[in-house]
Amino acid sequence: MTPILETKNLCKYYGSGENLVKAVDHIDLQIAQGEYVAIVGKSGSGKSTLLHLLGALDNPTSGEIWVDGKNIAALTGEELTALRRRKIGFIFQAFNLIPSLNVWENIVLPIGLDGKRADEEFVRDILRTLDLEERTNALPNTLSGGQQQRTAIARAIAAKPSIILADEPTGNLDTKNGDEVISLLKLSAKKYGQTLVVITHNEDIAQMADRTIMLEDGRLI
Amino acid sequence: MKKHFIFFTCIQTSSAILFLLFSLAFLKTVSLNEMHTVQNLAGAVLQASPEAEAAFMGALKSPRTAHTAAGTELLARYGYEEDFLAKIPFYRRFLPAVISIFFIYFIFSISSGLHYFYSVQKTREAQDELLAALLERCLSDDYGFLENSQDSAFPGPGDLSDTFRKLAQKMRLKSEILAEEKDHTKALVTDISHQLKTPLAALKTCFSIYLEADSAQEKKEFEKRCRFQLEKLENLIASLIHISRLESAMILLRPEPSSLQNILVETVNAAYEKAAAKQIAIEAEDFPDLVLSLDKKWTQEALFNILDNAVKYSPPGASVQIRAQKLYSFVRVEIEDQGIGIPKAEYNNIFKRFYRGQNETVQNSEGSGVGLYLSRKILEQQGGTVSVRTTQKQGSVFVVQLPLEAEKNS
């Protein structure tokens, strides 16, 4: 299978000498299009660093990252921004919604930033799937944690990215809401043909993935 | 495209500037000529009669039409009509210059317009050709061009090229999935033959011992074992038929509005006999019924496999709890048993095809390692999920989530 996301000998080190921390240490990873991969590891194992590198949010110390056949090191700043906006959707543990914008505005904001018009029909469809239709005009602080995370999911999906990167998406949710969020991500990814990479320390959640990758001290095990 | 547009604009602007310069020069020459005429007249009149100076200057400063009537009459007598300026050779020379400048401007405009039109057409033709070539490659399953990250290799503006790329990727994915399915089927056939081999070998051994048995007691014992192996084979084959049908998509799940309560009741009914024999109570909490879009028969099969395991691996007299709860987009069904439990290390494996737990109880009991695999497959095809959790007490909880809204694509 052609990988949509690939790392070659990827390293990310912090500090130097005795304080050298190998957050990501020679990782070779291939993720196929449409795959749902869970990256599991304890805190400090380098999961978040790896995800940030995959999403071009951080620069590697050495090694290469290929997204959709492009080596992202070769891209200009402008192309990199376009790649992050169009190809990749992010979901974070802390939701990262903008408090002064309502649900709808939060969802279409990244599309607007990209200078495009939101596909209204598509966004409505997502809202229906995520049961947010009635909260379209609500502000984030009036929503429950589950609803906020569903809004963040809607935002990640709305730009129709090829890849969704989720960093502990259920970290702030109880078991039931967390399970539901993961099922939703899986359902949406399947519905819209997206690749899903979820990092978590929760093995219960990793069960639902097509493939689980274990990370320890920055290395795959 | 952009290049041609710039060229077109440059030509237009430069011809407009040329035209403007010419007009300015023309105006300047004309006004100079007028001045010369007035100077000439003034010189002639003032030389002849210097006392006319006041009258001349007065006429020059008075409104332009104050004395025209008298002047017209005087000049008309000498044959100078209104169009006399046009008869002066100086002005005559100007006419062809004006006309030719206009023609030059006209030709410039037309030719730059045509150039723009043809170059746009040429670019479009080149794009069409490229697009056609790429489509041809798609048709012949050659997606190598996707690896070429140069966007210029794609025809058309950014959006079109993006959509085309996505389309080509989707097609490539589909053909890869097809190829993978083929491999998958091969693996399935290998797996199935392997699974059939063991009980068949056992049956063969039992049967040959039965044939060569010395005592009636031995004959009876091995007849019993043969029957046991036959039953095992029969069960295995039934499961395999299910699997192969589901895998080869011979079973199409047909979602229809189904009552969840109804599905659960039927599932419990199917497991009831086995549970009653072990005096296991299956208890379900009351919950408001929901209508979901599911394939009733196969969803029952999926839930039955889980419930059947719960009964199989629970000690006699235990109880199995079934709970259902409506969440936002999914309904969560939990099946909790007081059985042997599943070690965390095996969580990822129990849903795999032909996987059987390492636990001794599991190894010694009936089963082909197909049930949970089938359950996951059926549930996931309908947009649902299944996972397993440990409980505080002994046993495991299977969590099934089914979407409230039917998946449109399935």
Given the cut 0.90, state whether the ipTM is greater than it. no
Q: Topology of domain B159-246, per CATH? A: Helix Hairpins (1.10.287)
Residue B358 tokens, joined: 């390492």
Residues in chain B predicted with pLDDT less than 50, given as ranges, are 151-152, 406-410
Give the whole-angstrom CA distance, residue B148 versus residue A70. Answer: 8
Other beta carbons within 10 Å of B65: 8
Q: What is the pLDDT of residue B320?
A: 93
Indicate yes or no: CB of B388 within 8 angstroms of CB of A207.
Answer: yes
* Chain A CB contacts of B343 below 8 Å: none
Q: Topology of domain B253-403, per CATH? A: Heat Shock Protein 90 (3.30.565)
Q: What is the pLDDT of residue A120?
A: 86
DSSP B153: G
Indicate yes or no: CB of B387 within 8 angstroms of CB of A131.
Answer: no
Indicate yes or no: CB of B332 within 8 angstroms of CB of A176.
Answer: yes
Closest CA to B292 of B140, B146, B162, B402: B402
Label residue B373 exposed, middle or buried (CB < 10 Å: 0-12, 13-18, 19+): buried
The residues that bridge with A164 in the sheet, in sequence order, are A89, A196
Indicate yes or no: CB of B387 within 8 angstroms of CB of A204.
Answer: yes
Q: What is the pLDDT of residue B157?
A: 65
A206 in reach of chain B (CB within 8 A): yes
Q: Which chain A residue's Cα is nearest to B382?
A: A187
Give the whole-angstrom CA distance, residue A199 versus residue A216. Answer: 13
Closest CA to B1 of B135, B117, B169, B166: B117
* Chain B CB contacts of A1 below 8 Å: 176, 180
Q: What is the pLDDT of residue B155?
A: 62
* Chain A CB contacts of B408 below 8 Å: 191
Average pLDDT, chain A: 87
In chain A, domain spans: 3-220
Q: Topology of domain A3-220, per CATH? A: Rossmann fold (3.40.50)
- Name the amino acid, one letter, at B319: S
Once rounded to an integer, what is the mean pLDDT over residues A130-157? 88
A128 closest CB neighbour out of B169, B176, B405: B405
Give the whole-angstrom CA distance, residue B64 versus residue B11. Answer: 42
A1 in reach of chain B (CB within 8 A): yes
Per cent of chain A over pLDDT 70 is 99
Hey, which of A158-167, A183-192, B60-69, B86-95 has the most confident mean pLDDT?
Answer: A158-167
Indicate yes or no: CB of B401 within 8 angstroms of CB of A191.
Answer: no
B329 in reach of chain A (CB within 8 A): yes
B330 closest CB neighbour out of A74, A183, A204: A183
A179 closest CB neighbour out of B166, B383, B399: B399
Residues 144-183 of A with CB under 8 A from B: 146-147, 150, 162, 176-177, 179-180, 182-183
Label residue B10 exposed, middle or buried (CB < 10 Å: 0-12, 13-18, 19+): exposed
Q: pLDDT (tens digit, 9 = 90+) per residue, A197-207?
A: 999 888 888 88
Predicted confidence (pLDDT) at residue A47 exceeds the cutoff of 80: yes
Q: What is the pLDDT of residue B410?
A: 36
B315 in reach of chain A (CB within 8 A): no
Q: What is the pLDDT of residue B260?
A: 92
| 8 A C-beta contact, residue B303 and residue B267 | yes
Q: Which chain A residue's Cα is nearest to B170?
A: A193
* Chain A CB contacts of B328 below 8 Å: 130-131, 146-147, 150, 180
Give the whole-angstrom CA distance, residue B47 versus residue B53. Answer: 10
Q: What is the pLDDT of residue B407?
A: 37
Q: Which of A83, A207, A210, A213 to mutate to test the interface with B (most CBs of B within 10 A)?
A: A207
Residues forming CATH 1.10.287 domain(s) in chain B: 159-246
Give the whole-angstrom CA distance, residue A214 versus residue A45. Answer: 9
pTM over 0.80: no
Residue entry with tokens 């998509």: B249
Q: Which chain B residue's Cα is nearest to A161?
A: B166
Indicate yes or no: CB of A190 within 8 angstroms of CB of B147.
Answer: no
B326 in reach of chain A (CB within 8 A): no
Alpha helices in chain A (DSSP H): 47-54, 77-86, 103-113, 120-129, 145-158, 175-191, 203-206
